[in-house]
Amino acid sequence: MDIHTVLVLSAELADPDLKLLAQLPPETNIAVGNSVEAFEQLAADATVILSWSLAGQLLRDVFALCPKARWVHSRSAGLETVMFPELVASPVPLTNGRGVFSQSLGEFALGAILYFAKDFRRMNRNQEAGRWEPFDIVEIAGQTVGIVGYGDIGRAVATRVRAMDMRVLAVKRHGPSPGHADPLVHRTFLPAGLMEMLAESDYVVVAAPQTEETRGMIGERELQAMKPGAVVINLGRGPVIDEAALVRALAERRIKGAALDVFDTEPLPDGHAFYKMENVLLSPHCADHTPDWTERGMRFFLAQFERFSQGKPLENVVDKGQGY
């Protein structure tokens, strides 16, 4: 078996999940750091780079020091801070955490749907005011969920809402292969059919990755196409939705509401309009933060490393040309 050198980019050097790296083969050389200097001694022989909780410029600088790199892995499913030109142009495979955290995000989407359908905010407000005020709620069975970006997260959402007897529509780059229709989806649209899907949807779940193609994918025109009672749920990346256009649509009550886990700027700046909007459910980018979410991310890397060291195909290989 080859002896590998693994460089781990971590913001916190005392991160408890890093202890799991002890499960790598004993002959593995490991360097953990949050600066270029931390990796200079081993970089020349590094074969694996793990972007654990740091990426961006540091990852780019470290990659430049690693002529023998044969694999880069990102804990995150999002790749906007990982896809720098040198890595994209290189033959080095890039993998990510796609699918590792999708189940929790699917649950968040279902929770957001129920939150607006049953008007839980109104219930809380009345309870706090000591007010007994019966009101009508919405039954979600038979309503339509439109999913923008039908990957692992989209399928996790579809699985859960179908169990509630909801109708599922989906937009994805490629339609289903002949004879391989997804049993969870009533109808799949190509990107050109996005407006048609939005007009039919009671809930719009945005789960698309951030790429040049998807930036601003949901803008003024798309929001105008939605039903007045529609709710937008963003689980992908903030810039996929034109944030200013969404603020206007919510403030003018052109749509019913929004449940947001991701934003253009994070943390969300003080005084942002979303904080005070009654028709917004705001999650500080933690909808997938179960008590063991980072441990699961590390265990996925360890399983990937075993495949890598045995010469087996890696999972979650990113199409660097497409950006996801």
pLDDT reading at 180 higher than 80:
no
pTM greater than 0.95 (yes/no): no
User: Do 199 and 249 fall within a single domain?
Assistant: yes
pLDDT value at residue 173: 84
User: Do 149 and 65 fall within a single domain?
Assistant: no
User: Do 92 and 135 fall within a single domain?
Assistant: no
AA letter at 171: V
Q: Which residue, among 240, 213, 207, has the nearest Cα to 102 in the 3D structure?
A: 207
Yes or no: say if 98 and 314 are a contact pair by the CB < 8 Å rule. Answer: no
User: Do 27 and 94 fall within a single domain?
Assistant: yes
Considering the domain boundaries, does residue 321 fall inside one?
no
Domains identified in the chain, total number? 2
User: Do 40 and 141 fall within a single domain?
Assistant: no
Percent of the chain with pLDDT over 70: 98
CB atoms within 10 A of CB 134: 5
Yes or no: say if 243 and 265 are a contact pair by the CB < 8 Å rule. Answer: no
User: Do 133 and 219 fall within a single domain?
Assistant: yes
CATH number for the domain that contains residue 62:
3.40.50.720
pLDDT value at residue 135: 98
CA 318 to the chain's CA centroid: 14
Considering the domain boundaries, does residue 54 fall inside one?
yes
User: Do 92 and 187 fall within a single domain?
Assistant: no
Considering the domain boundaries, does residue 176 fall inside one?
yes
User: Do 128 and 267 fall within a single domain?
Assistant: yes
User: Do 89 and 107 fall within a single domain?
Assistant: no
Considering the domain boundaries, does residue 320 fall inside one?
no
How large is the average pLDDT for residues 248-253? Answer: 98
Distance of alpha carbon 157 from alpha carbon 149, whole angstroms: 11
Q: Domain range for residue 62?
A: 5-100+292-309
Per DSSP, the chain holds a count of helices (H) and strands (E) of 9, 12
pLDDT reading at 243 higher than 80:
yes
Considering the domain boundaries, does residue 317 fall inside one?
no
AA letter at 295: E
Give the residue carrying structure tokens 């495979």.
Answer: 93
E-strand spans in the chain? 5-9, 29-33, 48-51, 71-74, 94-95, 144-148, 167-171, 187-189, 203-206, 231-234, 257-260, 280-282
pLDDT value at residue 212: 86
121-167 tens-digit pLDDT? 999 999 999 999 999 999 999 999 999 999 999 999 999 999 999 99
User: Do 122 and 256 fall within a single domain?
Assistant: yes
Helix axes 152-163, 102-117, angle to 10 degrees: 50
Yes or no: say if 280 and 250 are a contact pair by the CB < 8 Å rule. Answer: yes
Considering the domain boundaries, does residue 322 fall inside one?
no
37-62 tens-digit pLDDT? 999 999 999 999 999 999 999 999 99
pLDDT value at residue 324: 87
User: Do 148 and 184 fall within a single domain?
Assistant: yes
User: Do 96 and 117 fall within a single domain?
Assistant: no
pLDDT band at 177 (very low <50, low <70, confident <90, very high): low
Considering the domain boundaries, does residue 318 fall inside one?
no
Considering the domain boundaries, does residue 319 fall inside one?
no
